[in-house]
Amino acid sequence: MSTAPNRTGAVADGGPGRAPARAARPAPTPARRALRRARTWLPGLLLVSPSILLIGVFVYGMIGWNTNLALSDKHAPIQEGEFVGLANFIALWQEARWPAAVGNAVVFTVVFVGGALFLGWLLGLLLDKGIRGEPVFRTLFLAPMAVSFIATGVVWRWLMNPAPAERATGLNALFVRFNLDFLVNDWWTAPDFGMAAMALPAIWQLAGYIMALFLAGFRGVPEELREAARVDGCSEWGVYRHVVMPQLRPVLLSAVIILGHMSLKVFDLIIAIAGQQIIADVPAVYMWAMVFEVRDPAKGATIASYLLFAVALFVIPYLVWTVRKERSEGR
């Protein structure tokens, strides 16, 4: 299918009624044939060229510029930068703030990705066979996706208020009210599990999305496959484990990529809940502080480069794999 445009030769840019005349031409030379082919696809390239230009400049040009900045010693906005190699990249690890921010982002990512995957998968599983009120459940679980992380942060900051039991608000107050005082905790301000608590609002927001992905995946598995397994004596749970879930690996992969790339660059949610408090510091917040408070472009660009690198590490293989697979399936 991909070669189809080449077959029809020179009609690409012709007005109506010009095509029949072309058919009567003498046998073309190879050069002429190439030219004619180019006349077919060239308009396509032209139509895409504004976007190629924009993406070229604003994605790849800016990434190049940013990398350049990260490799320089432009540590003040008005200063000229000299090339210093990887010095900034190494220096970051020698301070206290950066490794702590990376650690926080890792904890957040593990809890958020794991939690959203599990909850989304569970919701998908519960809804898969159809249940009374399914559309209502689906709409409800997916609704947080329509809201900004800032709005989510506003309400969750209130819910996860760490004030002690005697003047507790939010979830702590609810725990006290139901005599579950042992559940009262410091939420995101706790030194040992704070970032795990910080992942709760993100799980709340994204679980519905993962549910929708899994639900589409579950329902894409042909009923005959399930039926065949049942005839072979599989329990309903066995059908899921041995027949349905193995078919869902691509869905799982997509879900991990989406959650993972969101999680590594998490910013809005942290700002809305914790502001710039160091206990909840993550690389994206650190970078923001470098730009607006410390005003150190080279250092900000270095952090941004690390973020890009972390995301690219798993997104590039995924994209190449997806586009190739699609091509081989003859899309």
Partner 1 sequence: MSVQSASGRVTAPGGRAAGTTRRGQTVKFVVLLALAVLFLLPMYVLLVTGFKPFAEATAARAWSLPQTWSGEGWAAAWEALSSGLRNSLMVAVPSAVVSAVLGSMNGFVMARWRFPGADTVFTLFLFGMFIPYQAVMIPLQQMLVGAGLMGGLFPLILAHTVYGIPICTLIFRNYYASIPQTLIEAARVDGAGMLRTYASVVLPVSAPAFAVTLIWQFTSAWNDFLFAVFLTGPNSWPVTVQLNNVAGSMVVPYNQQMAAAVLASLPTLVVYLLLGRYFMRGLMAGALKG
Q: How far is the CB of 31 from partner 1 (least distance, A)?
A: 16
Cα first-last separation, the chain:
8
Name which of 31, 37, 35, 30 is nearest 9 in CA terms.
37
Say whether residue 58 binds partner 1 (CB under 8 A). yes
**How many Å apart are CA 162 and CA 224, to the nearest integer?**
52
In the region spanning residues 247 to 286, those forming contacts with partner 1, defined by CB under 8 A, are 251, 254-255, 257-258, 261, 264-265, 267-268, 271-272, 275, 284
For residues 183 and 216, which CB has a smaller minimum distance to partner 1 in the complex? 216
Return the residue of 155, 190, 196, 289 that touches partner 1, per CB under 8 A.
Answer: 155
Say whether residue 34 binds partner 1 (CB under 8 A). no
Return the residue of 106, 110, 134, 279 that touches partner 1, per CB under 8 A.
Answer: 134
Return the residue of 89, 137, 196, 279 that touches partner 1, per CB under 8 A.
Answer: 137
Say whether residue 228 binds partner 1 (CB under 8 A). no
Say whether residue 127 binds partner 1 (CB under 8 A). yes
For residues 73 and 134, which CB has a smaller minimum distance to partner 1 in the complex? 134
Alpha-helical runs (H) found in the chain = 4-7, 19-23, 30-55, 62-70, 87-93, 97-128, 134-142, 149-159, 170-177, 194-220, 223-231, 236-238, 245-247, 249-264, 268-274, 283-289, 297-328
User: Residues 297-326: x/- map of binding to partner 1 (CB under 8 A)?
Assistant: x--xx-xxx-xx--xx--xx--xx-xx---
In the region spanning residues 176 to 205, those forming contacts with partner 1, defined by CB under 8 A, are 177, 204
- For residue 76, give every residue at least 6 positions away whose Cβ sits within 8 Å of its Cβ, in sequence order, or none: 295, 296, 297
**How many Å apart are CA 98 and CA 284, to the nearest integer?**
11
Say whether residue 209 binds partner 1 (CB under 8 A). yes
**How many Å apart are CA 11 and CA 108, to the nearest integer?**
56
